[in-house]
Amino acid sequence: MSLIAEDVIPPLHVLAKYPSLGKPKTVNVVEHLRFLYENLRENEEWKKNWSEIFKNNVYEVYNWLEEECLNDEDLNLTEHIHQHDPLFLNFNKDRDPFKSENWVSVKELVLNSEPSEEKYVNTSLAKYPTMLKRAGAREVKRPNIEIHVSPHDQPSINKIKALDSLFDPNFSLNDATFIIKGERIKASRYMLAISSSIIVNDVEYVGDVEPDSMRVLLRYLYGQNIDDAIKRYRDTSPEISYVRNRNSYFYEEVIEDDDDDDENPREVSRDIFERYKDLLKLSNNYNLGHLKELMEMRLSRSVTRLNVGQIKNLAETNDANQLKNYCDQFILENDEL
């Protein structure tokens, strides 16, 4: 169903000469939306037989308003829509367009929110961002801060030094033991010394990280790509509570999927988040500057309103100043949401 009946639209040759004749006023379109919400939404016949048509009519109004806002930078929808008017269909409870719980005002909408956060804008409504902002909706703003990661090729450095030591008759392997949560992990102090500035004792006790995180670090120091090392150790422990879409954790370097099509990507993503936290701690403990910068950058891509305090505390504890600065700016720019 159209906003304007076809039999009252002027002929094309008339519209070509007087284009404004076939164009409704914004105030009338908003009133049409208000009529849909206040009248048709309560109509039992529409509820029973015309659910999809009703929803399409609502989206047709949103689409018209979005295009008008894009074409007219001075159009201010707050002149026609009060900040408490529940004129926006935001499917959060279910997919029923007639339920009042699915209709909200702009005061209850924050663009770019996460699904687990308050005032989340459903993807169906998020298609009309210009309309929503002109009506008074606010949005999460990500700080325009670039976290610097120095150019570095750790695998090449490791491979060259490892080959140099390979034929050394005095080279002794696995002469250091890392003890983490009761697990003993063997490594070569010489290999660690030539691939980094790490100097360890015969027995090294490591706390506050998972054993597999130490294994990831050692593989990295032995020359393996950090993402390949992370892929080898996956943890789906229910104690890990952070959940977010997997792709949100990667920036430039992307981990390719394994062959296991049945794997739950949300389980992978929360494991990776915890792994990054452990690697930030370990890189700080062992003074691995590049790895620390890399973990700061990757953790910054996962900052949300829900976890910004947690990540800021992690940054402060581990002298991750770039990540702390990012969190401070995120809090400042989103303080009023």
Domains of the chain: 6-139 (no CATH), 154-333 (3.30.710.10)
Per-residue confidence (pLDDT) for residue 3, from 0 to 100: 47
pLDDT number for residue 180: 95
User: Cβ neighbours of residue 250 under 8 Å, at least 6 residues apart?
Assistant: 298, 301
Q: E strand or H helix at 276, and its extent?
A: helix 265-285
Q: Which helix (H) or strand (E) holds 226?
A: helix 226-231
Task: Report yes or no: 303 and 274 within 8 Å, Cβ to Cβ.
Answer: no
Q: Is 252 left (phi over 0), alpha (psi -120 to 50) or beta?
A: left
How far, in Å, CA of 321 to CA of 203, rounded? Answer: 31
Residue 235: its pLDDT value, please? 53
Report pLDDT for 264: 43
pTM, to two decimals:
0.67
In this prediction, residue 105 carries a pLDDT of: 96
Per-residue pLDDT, 200: 81
The rounded distance, in Å, linking the Cα atoms of 187 and 136 is: 59
Give the model's pLDDT for residue 94.
85
Residue 89 backbone phi and psi in degrees, to 5: -80, 105
Low-confidence ranges of the chain (pLDDT < 50): 1-10, 14-15, 18, 166, 236-268
> What pLDDT does 47 receive?
85
